[in-house]
């Protein structure tokens, strides 16, 4: 079993990585002394596929609360639905904690619930999608969406542990695996050039979920994310902002189309191509770097463009939490493995770049 220590001053915890780890989670929870009654917040799809496993593992003093799949879970409706269920279950003699089992929507919602219920209760993650295992479950960011913008209501509330079991990936569709790989590509672009080329070289083995390759991918990504979170837990130093590469555009695209026409992974893939093109447009990198990013997206059958109205998308970007005090802040590419945070991007430049990008043909 691989263990990554998240060394935070006030909220340190461990990330555990191992096949079939789920069966041992109650043992770890008991050692962590989280409480005496656990609520299993599980996505409906995961619960239906792994009901026997989960109920066999989490027996006495656990309550199962299935939640709708996808971004719809990150809504006011489901936030209060979950909280109302917890209130019904909670008793004076129970010390409640949450176990979030699912993808990023479940970990975001569960973490947010844990952060506001009784001003904060403990929780752990069992991420079941690749995207969640390498990104969303690590770092303590929690959030729900409003129709105006993605992740607009949120908190920082660290989990007490993250348990990564790659066994769940066996029932994930290839499309979802590819979308998870978008975040792995992001880590290579922002921090690790050699990892970027590892992904490029072994793309077939990774898509096939060959054990050694997928374990290396998950561990490398989790370690990079951990290092960044340790340095800038609450995104006050600008270091953690690097993780937003491609996400400003992606979140705007998702919210514009109400989280229906494009998935998060697809939006991030397109968003990274746009961020690279904006970087080239502003003279930060060569066009060859844009081409390299396009090429790796092609290798993993990820999209590089999407038809959109550039003015609508520009308006949506203005709602993004990374749009600070009227200033546009985005992460731009310098070279593979190195990016920078650009403050105060001129609105006219962003609009013109969005306009050009929206009109480019698929060959771009």
Mean local confidence (pLDDT), 240-244: 92
| CA-closest candidate to residue 340, choices 276, 288, 294, 296 | 276
What average pLDDT does the chain have? Answer: 92
Task: Round to whole Å and give the CA distance between 147 and 319.
Answer: 11
Q: Which residues are catalytic?
A: 119, 141, 183, 225, 235, 240, 244, 247, 251, 264
Residue, of 259 and 313, whose pLDDT is higher: 313
- Band the pLDDT of 316: cuts 50, 70, 90: confident
pLDDT tens readout for residues 250-303: 988 888 887 778 888 899 999 999 999 999 999 999 999 999 999 999 999 999
pLDDT attached to residue 45: 95
pLDDT attached to residue 363: 44
pLDDT tens readout for residues 144-202: 998 877 888 999 999 999 999 999 999 999 999 998 999 999 999 999 999 999 999 99
Q: What is the share, in percent, of the chain residues with pLDDT greater than 70?
A: 96
**What residues does each domain of the chain span?**
2-171, 174-358
pLDDT attached to residue 69: 92
- Band the pLDDT of 322: cuts 50, 70, 90: low
- Residue 335, judged by CB atoms within 10 A of its CB (0-12, 13-18, 19+), counts as middle
pLDDT attached to residue 109: 97
Mean local confidence (pLDDT), 215-219: 98
Q: What is the pTM of this model?
A: 0.91
Task: Round to whole Å and give the CA distance between 70 and 63.
Answer: 21
Is residue 39 over pLDDT 50? yes
CATH number for the domain running over 174-358 = 1.20.1090.10
Give the best-scoring range by mean pLDDT among 44-58, 252-266, 310-324. 44-58
Task: Round to whole Å and give the CA distance between 94 and 103.
Answer: 27
**Tokens 């219920």 belong to residue:** 117
Residue, of 316 and 284, whose pLDDT is higher: 284
Does CATH place domain 2-171 in 3.90.180.10? no
pLDDT tens readout for residues 124-137: 999 999 999 999 99
Task: Round to whole Å and give the CA distance between 55 and 76.
Answer: 28
- Band the pLDDT of 364: cuts 50, 70, 90: very low
């Amino acid at each position: 079993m691989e263990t990554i220590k998240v060394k935070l001053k006030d909220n340190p915890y461990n990330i555990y990585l191992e096949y079939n780890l789920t069966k041992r989670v109650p043992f770890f929870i008991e050692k962590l002394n989280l409480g005496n009654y656990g609520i299993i917040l599980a996505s409906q799809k995961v619960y239906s596929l792994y009901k026997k496993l989960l109920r066999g593992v989490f027996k006495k003093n656990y309550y199962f609360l299935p939640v709708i799949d996808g971004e719809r879970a990150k809504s006011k409706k489901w936030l209060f639905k979950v909280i109302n269920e917890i209130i019904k279950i909670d008793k004076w003699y129970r010390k409640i904690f949450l176990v979030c089992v699912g993808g990023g929507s479940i970990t975001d919602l569960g973490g947010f619930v844990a952060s506001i219920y009784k001003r904060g209760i403990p929780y752990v993650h069992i991420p079941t999608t690749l995207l969640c295992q390498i990104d969303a479950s690590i770092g303590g960011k929690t959030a729900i969406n409003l129709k105006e913008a993605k992740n607009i209501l949120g908190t920082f509330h660290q989990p007490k542990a993250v348990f990564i079991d790659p066994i769940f990936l066996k029932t994930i569709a290839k499309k979802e695996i590819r979308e998870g790989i978008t975040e792995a590509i992001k880590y290579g672009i922002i921090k690790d050039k050699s990892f970027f080329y590892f992904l490029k070289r072994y793309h077939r083995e990774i898509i096939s979920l060959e054990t050694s390759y997928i374990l290396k991918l998950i561990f490398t990504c989790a370690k990079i994310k951990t290092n960044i979170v340790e340095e800038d837990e609450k995104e006050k130093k600008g270091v953690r902002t690097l993780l937003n590469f491609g996400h400003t555009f992606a979140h705007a695209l998702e919210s514009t189309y109400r989280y229906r026409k494009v998935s998060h992974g697809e939006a991030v893939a397109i968003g990274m191509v746009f961020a690279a093109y904006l970087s080239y447009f502003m003279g930060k990198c060569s066009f060859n770097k844009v081409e390299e990013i396009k090429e790796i997206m092609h290798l993993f059958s990820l999209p590089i463009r999407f038809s959109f109205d550039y003015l609508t998308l520009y308006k949506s970007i203005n709602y993004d939490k990374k749009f600070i005090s009227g200033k546009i802040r985005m992460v731009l590419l310098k070279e593979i493995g190195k990016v920078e945070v650009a403050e105060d991007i001129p609105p006219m430049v962003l609009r013109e770049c969005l306009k050009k990008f929206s009109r480019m043909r698929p060959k771009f």
